[in-house]
Amino acid sequence: MARPTDGAPRLPGVEFTDPGLLVQALTHRSAASIHNERLEFLGDALVNLIVAEALYAHWPKADEGTLTRARAELVRESSLAAIARHMQLGEKLILGPGEMKSGGHRRDSILADALEAIIGAIHLDAGFEACRAAVLPWFEAAIAALPPPNKLGKDGKTRLQEWVQARQKPLPVYRLLAESGDEHAKQFSVACTLADPPMECVGEGHSRRAAEQVAAERILATLDPN
């Protein structure tokens, strides 16, 4: 069974009264009979509540459907996995030999589940107020980067494709420019190119898909500043 190599696991900005809860939150079912699935169940409910409350305050005039779509975007598996990678959770996960060999510490599903389990563990260790105070900063940048409510629901690549198709123009082309960083913190750079009007924007992200979305959003911002 693979365990963290730096002694007891730690998280920046979070101190556990009961470190065993953090160990359990980082333990995949492949590694031990006491694992993180129950904590993940609790953390899933908590992260939805914390993000919903933050969105309610962020967009005081948005309707229920808009808030629901925004929350789904922020708490989807890939979004949670990106936060987990930023926190370097992959290297702290406790995995069975099979999952370790197959690269489980890089898998979105395992990273997202572990993040939710950690949220559940913080709540059990310190209560809801402390949990919200610890977790909310993880999402603040993503909330601030959300598109306007009237444009929410379709990602940048979809909206850009619709824009060119509506004008019978060639489809955008995405090209990987660079891939760098350690496995737990990969960074991708992707160019999005339009033939008509001729332009190119570059996006960066923790996955190729995320970088493509950023590049498409930058093209859209140039085409339609509003």
Which residue of the set 64, 91, 108, 116 is catalytic? 116
Which residue of the set 6, 18, 37, 44 is catalytic? 44
| 209, HSE (Cβ side, Cα atoms, 13 Å) | 5
pTM over 0.85: no
The domain ranges of the chain are 19-147, 156-223
Residue-wise pLDDT for 3-29, tens only, equals: 443 455 778 778 899 999 999 999 999
Mean pLDDT for the stretch of residues 75-95? 90
Is 116 annotated as catalytic? yes
40 is in an annotated binding site: yes
Mean pLDDT for the stretch of residues 135-152? 86
pLDDT score of 198 more than 50: yes
Token duo for residue 217: 């959003």
Per-residue H/E/C for 46-58: HHHHHHHHHHHHH
Residue type, 110: I
Is 44 annotated as catalytic? yes
CATH topology of domain 156-223: Double Stranded RNA Binding Domain (3.30.160)
Q: Is 186 exposed, middle or buried (0-12, 13-18, 19+ CB in 10 A)?
A: middle
Give residue 210's pLDDT.
85
The correct answer on CATH 1.20.1530.20 for the domain covering 19-147 is no
Helices (H), 91-149: 97-101, 108-126, 128-144
Supply φ then ψ for residue 201, to 5 degrees: -130, 150
Average predicted confidence (pLDDT) for the chain: 88
Secondary element (H or E) of residue 65: helix 64-75
Residue-wise pLDDT for 161-172, tens only, equals: 989 999 999 999
CA dihedral 20, 93, 190, 138 (to 10 degrees): 0
- How many angstroms separate the CA atoms of 54 and 114, rounded? 22
Residue 44 or 69, more confident: 44
